[in-house]
Amino acid sequence: MNFSVIGSQFWSLAFQGLALGLIYSLVSLGYTMVYGVLRLINFANSEVFMVGTFSVLYLQINILGVPIGEPALHGVKLIAYLAISLIGSMIVCALLAILVELVAYRRLRARGANRLASLISAIGVSIALLEGFSMLTGARGQIAPRLLDKWSFGEFAGANFRIDQVMAIVMPIVIFLILDQFVTKSRLGKSIRAVSMSEENSKLMGININQVITLTFCIGGLTTGAAAFLYTTVYENTVFNVGFNMGIAAFTAAVLGGIGNLRGAFYGGLALGMLEQFASAILGSQWKAITVFVVLVIILLFKPNGLFGEAVQQTRT
Amino acid sequence: MSRLRNFNLRDFGASIWARWNRPTRTLFVLAVISLVSLLPFAASWGPTSFMNTPITSFQNVLVYPVGMFVLMALGLNIVVGKSGLLDLGYIAFFAIGAYSQAILSTFFGWSTWVILPFGIGFAMISGVLLGLPALRLRGDYLAIITLGFGEIVRIVALNLEVTGGPSGIAGIPNPPGFFGVKFDIMHPQNFFWVVLILILLTIWMIRRFTVRRPGRAWEAIRQDEDVAELMGVNTLVYKLWSFVIGAAVGGAAGVIFASKVMVISPDMFKFDISIFILACVVFGGIGNIWGVVLGASVLAYLPERIRFLADSRQLVFGLVLVLMMNLRPDGLLPRKKREKITEKGSK
C-alpha cells in the first residue's frame, strides 16, 4: 500500500492511464461492435491485434527498410512512414477480421448453430493464429524500430507529455468521433444499428444482414489495427502472445462500459486504463489484475448493464 | 447426404438401449467399465498399440490430460451444458483443489484421502462465494466475471508465500496405498483407476440429478430463465447448486492431480485450460454426458498422439477445432433433440 504516489504522481499516472486506456478502448471496439450485432464474443479479436502489431513491424522493417536502433526519422518521411504503417496495419487487421468472420462464424450462423459453437470455432481460429505466429517468430519477442523521436511537449505537474503518448490519446478520440458520426448518421451505420436491435426486422426492411456483419467485423478490425499501430509505437515491441492480455483487458473494458455500446467501449477503456495505472502504483503491479476485476464485479452488481449501458434493446451500438 | 446429416448417434443409441431389459443393460455397463479400466494396458497389447503416445508414457497420458480433462469436462458440463451458464474460469476450482492438497499435505502431513473431502469442500465454498454475486448477472457478464475469478485465483497463488509464489509447491506426497495398491510414479495405472472411479461417480451423480428436481430446474433455466422464474423455480438457488456441484468435481480433480504430479505451480492453472475444458464440452456435444466424455478424451488425447508434429500440433489442434465446429456445430454426440415432435409433424 503506497497512497503517497497519488499525491506525487497523480497527473503522470492519469496521463499514462489515459493513453493506455484509449488503446484498450480501440481494441474493445472489435469486441463491442461484433457483440452488438451478433451477440457473440469475438474471441479471435485479440489475435487480430497481435497480427496487427506484427504487420506494423513487418512493414517498417522489411518493406520500408527502417533499421532497428537507428536514429529516428524526421519531416515528411516520418509522417509518410507513420501513415503507411498505420494504414497498412488497419488494412491487414480489417482483412483478417473479415476472414475470421468467414471461417469461424458464417457457416455456423447459416446453420443456426448455438452460440457456444461459434465461440469454440472462434477460439479455434485464435489458437491457430497464435500458434502459427509463435512458430513464425520462434516464440521470441521482437523489437520495433524507432521511427518517432520521442520528444516531449513539456511537463505539467510531473506528467511528461511525450509525443507518442499524446498521439495515443488524440488518435483514438478522432477515430471515435468519426465512428460515432458514421454509426449515427450514415446509411450503413444506421443499418448496423438496425441489425443490432432486431435481426429479423432488419431483414424484413431489406437490409443485407451478411453485408452488415462483414462491415461490422471490418470496422472492428480497422480500429484494432489502429490500436496495434499505437501499441507498437508507444511500447516498441511485440510478441506472439501480446494479444492475450490486451484481449482480456479490452473485453473487460467493453463489459465495463456496457458491451454492445460504442460510447461504452470508449469510457470503459478509459476507466480501465486509469484503474490499472493507479492500482499498480498503489498496490504494486502484481495486484493490478485483481483490482480491475474486483472493481468490475462491484460495478456489475450495481449496474448490471455496465457503466454506460443503456437499457437493453435501446440505441445499441 | 441429408440422411447422413440428420443421423443422430445419440438417438440411435437410445433406441437400442430402450429395447434392452435390465440384466442386459447391467451387463453392458459392466462390460464397458471393465473394457475402459483395461485401457492402461492398451499401449503394450499388439492390436491396440497404435494408441500409444510418442514421447510421453501412455499410462501417464491417460491420467493427465485424458482422465483429468474428462472429469473436469463433466463438471463443467453441469454448469454450461445443464443449466446454460457460461463459465470461463473453471480452472479456478481445479487450482483450489490442487493447492488444498499441496498445502495440507506438505504443511500438516495429511493423506490425500483425508484431504479429498476438504479440497472438494474448499472448491464448493469458493463456488458459493463467486456464485452469490456473479450468478445475479447473465450471459456474457457472467462469462467475464468467472474469467476474472480464474485469473484472480492464479494471481493470488502467484503472489502469496504459502502457495510458494511462481515456483509453486514441490514435494507433494503421493497418496498412501491400500490393499497393496501402490500410488507412485511407477504405477500410473492406479491413478487412472482412481480417476475412473471419480468419473463414474460423477456420471452417476449427474444422471441422478438430471431426472430429479434440480435437473428439471436446470433445464428450465437453460431454456428460458425468465419463464423458469415465473413458474416458481428459485433460479438463483438452482444456478448456485449447479455452480457448486461443478466446482466440487473440479476440486476433486485438482486434489488427485496434485498428488499425482507432486509439483504444482501457478503456470498450470492458466486461462487457456479453462478454454480447453470448455472446448472439450462443446466439441463433444454440450449437455450430453457421453458426448462430453468422448469430446474430452479426443481433445486431450489428440495433442499427445500427434506430438510427432512437434511445434505445429497446437496449430493443427486449432484448425481441427474450427473444422469440426463447422461440420458438426452441435458437437460429436449432440444432446437429445427436443424439437423431434415438430420434425415428425412436418413429414
Report the SS3 class of residue B202.
Answer: helix
How close B223 gets to chain A, by Cα (Å)?
Answer: 12
* pLDDT(A91) > 60: yes
Report the SS3 class of residue B190.
Answer: helix
How close A104 gets to chain B, by Cα (Å)?
Answer: 7
pLDDT digits (tens, 9 = 90+) for B63-119: 888 899 999 999 999 999 888 888 888 999 999 999 999 999 998 988 989 999 999
pLDDT digits (tens, 9 = 90+) for B155-171: 899 888 888 888 889 88
Do residue B319 and residue A124 have CB atoms under 8 angstroms apart? yes
Nearest CA in chain B to A101: B322
Percentage of chain B lying above the pLDDT 70 cut: 90
Residue-range domain boundaries for chain A? 4-302
Nearest CA in chain B to A107: B326
pLDDT tier, B340 (very low <50, low <70, confident <90, very high otherwise): very low
Percentage of chain A lying above the pLDDT 90 cut: 35
Mean per-residue pLDDT, A93-100: 96
How close A273 gets to chain B, by Cα (Å)?
Answer: 17
Predicted pLDDT of residue A20: 92
Nearest CA in chain A to B131: A297
The lowest-confidence range among A191-205, B56-70, B223-237, B326-340 is: B326-340
Predicted pLDDT of residue A147: 81
B306 touches chain A (CB under 8 A): no
Q: How far apart are CA A113 and CA A100, in angstroms?
A: 17
B145 touches chain A (CB under 8 A): yes
Nearest CA in chain A to B138: A304
Residues of A with a Cβ under 8 Å from any B Cβ are 35, 41, 103-104, 107-108, 111, 113-114, 116-121, 123-132, 134-135, 244, 248, 251-252, 255, 259, 286-287, 289-290, 292-294, 296-297, 300-301, 304
Q: How far apart are CA B65 and CA B51, in angstroms?
A: 15
Predicted pLDDT of residue B6: 65
Three-state SS annotation for A178-241: HHHHHHHHCHHHHHHHHHHHCHHHHHHCCCCHHHHHHHHHHHHHHHHHHHHHHHHHHHCEECCC
Cell of B64: 493427465
pLDDT digits (tens, 9 = 90+) for B120-163: 999 999 999 988 888 887 767 788 788 888 888 998 998 888 88
Do residue A116 and residue B86 have CB atoms under 8 angstroms apart? yes
Mean per-residue pLDDT, B7-17: 75
Q: What is the DSSP string of A4-54?
A: HHHHHHHHHHHHHHHHHHHHHHHHHHHHHHHHHHHSS--TTHHHHHHHHHH
Nearest to B282 among A35, A107, A120 (CB): A120
**3-state DSSP percent of chain B in helix, strand and coil, to 5:** 75, 0, 20
How close B315 gets to chain A, by Cα (Å)?
Answer: 4
Nearest CA in chain B to A301: B133
Instruction: Report the top-level CATH class of A4-302.
Output: mainly alpha
The lowest-confidence range among A13-22, A105-114, B70-79, B174-183 is: B174-183
B201 touches chain A (CB under 8 A): no
Predicted pLDDT of residue B37: 85
How close A278 gets to chain B, by Cα (Å)?
Answer: 18
Q: How far apart are CA B290 and CA B297, in angstroms?
A: 11
Do residue B325 and residue A114 have CB atoms under 8 angstroms apart? no
Query: Which residues are paired to A155 by β-bridges?
Result: A160
Task: Residue A120: list chain B partners with CB under 8 A.
Answer: 278-279, 282-283, 321, 325
Predicted pLDDT of residue B203: 94
Q: How far apart are CA B131 and CA B236, in angstroms?
A: 9
* pLDDT(A66) > 90: no
The position carrying cell 504487420 is: A55
Q: What's chain A's average pLDDT? A: 86
Do residue B152 and residue A116 have CB atoms under 8 angstroms apart? no
Predicted pLDDT of residue B187: 79
Predicted pLDDT of residue A197: 85
B66 touches chain A (CB under 8 A): no
- Most B-contacting residue of A293, A294, A295 (CB-CB within 10 A), to test interface: A293
Three-state SS annotation for A101-143: HHHHHHHHHHCCCCHHHHHHHHHHHHHHHHHHHHHHCCCCCEE
* pLDDT(A167) > 60: yes
B160 touches chain A (CB under 8 A): no
Mean per-residue pLDDT, A275-299: 83
- ipTM score of the complex? 0.79
Nearest CA in chain B to A117: B329
pLDDT tier, B341 (very low <50, low <70, confident <90, very high otherwise): very low
Predicted pLDDT of residue B224: 85
Nearest to A121 among B148, B156, B326 (CB): B326
pLDDT tier, A311 (very low <50, low <70, confident <90, very high otherwise): very low
Do residue A244 and residue B329 have CB atoms under 8 angstroms apart? no
Query: What pTM was estimated for this model as a whole?
Result: 0.83
pLDDT tier, A312 (very low <50, low <70, confident <90, very high otherwise): very low
* pLDDT(A87) > 60: yes
DSSP state for residue A270 in the 8-state scheme: H
Q: What's chain B's average pLDDT? A: 84
Nearest CA in chain B to A139: B311
Task: Residue A104: list chain B partners with CB under 8 A.
Answer: 322, 325
Q: How far apart are CA B341 and CA B347, in angstroms?
A: 10
* pLDDT(B11) > 80: no
Do residue B318 and residue A300 have CB atoms under 8 angstroms apart? no
B223 touches chain A (CB under 8 A): no
Predicted pLDDT of residue B338: 54
B298 touches chain A (CB under 8 A): no
Task: Residue A111: list chain B partners with CB under 8 A.
Answer: 329
How close A34 gets to chain B, by Cα (Å)?
Answer: 13
State which amino acid sits at residue B28: F
The position carrying cell 458437437 is: B331
- Most A-contacting residue of B325, B328, B335 (CB-CB within 10 A), to test interface: B325
CB A85 within 8 A of CB A60: yes
How close A144 gets to chain B, by Cα (Å)?
Answer: 25
Residues making up chain A, counted from first to last: 317
Do residue B311 and residue A135 have CB atoms under 8 angstroms apart? yes
Nearest to A125 among B156, B158, B322 (CB): B322
Q: How far apart are CA B257 and CA B122, in angstroms?
A: 16
Nearest to B322 among A113, A121, A135 (CB): A121
B136 touches chain A (CB under 8 A): yes
Do residue A35 and residue B140 have CB atoms under 8 angstroms apart? yes
* pLDDT(A292) > 60: yes
